[in-house]
Amino acid sequence: MNPELATSTTTQLQPSYAIPTFLIILAGASYWVYAWLCPFVGLLGLSLAYQAATLRLVFTANALDIYRGASQIRHFPYQEWQNWRIFWAPVPTLLYFRETKSIHFLPILFDPKALETNLKQYCPQKS
């Protein structure tokens, strides 16, 4: 964690519907080529759109918290983070981070630039 951060600093990321929208459009387009694939891709897109609408990522001074409404559903303390990476820089699609006891892959359903900025600020990568 960056020691210059004030303990009361928090940042909530805005949702991004880019990935769900792409998948829903792809589902429609796939109907003409692979009709059997259309419902699966469409349901994935709708599921991710629902997640983007209901989940909130909040960076605090000590942890990355995930909320659904007012309820905190996950708490990831920065002190347990070993590494993080955003995959596919041209169109960020996946956040990978490793904690001391587990690894996590999260679809990027939030503003990718704000996500990267906050990751660099709150949890600088170790050399």
- Please state whether beta strands 63-68 and 71-77 pair in parallel, antiparallel, or not at all (unpaired): antiparallel
Helix (H) or strand (E) holding 88, with range, is none
Q: In angstroms, how far is CA 101 from the centroid of its own chain?
A: 20
In tens, the pLDDT along 92-115 reads: 899 999 999 999 999 999 999 999
Q: Report the C-alpha gap between 105 and 119 in whole angstroms.
A: 15
In tens, the pLDDT along 64-85 reads: 999 999 999 999 999 999 999 9
Q: Report the C-alpha gap between 83 and 79 in whole angstroms.
A: 11
Local structure of residue 8 (DSSP, 8 states): T
Helix 18-30 with 38-54: angle, nearest 10 deg: 160
Higher-confidence residue of 3 and 11: namely: 11
Q: Which residue in 126, 120, 107 sits closest to 15, CA to CA?
A: 107
pTM of the model: 0.83
Q: Does domain 11-122 have CATH number 2.60.40.10?
A: no
In the chain, where are the structural domains located? Answer: 11-122
Does residue 1 have a pLDDT over 70?
no
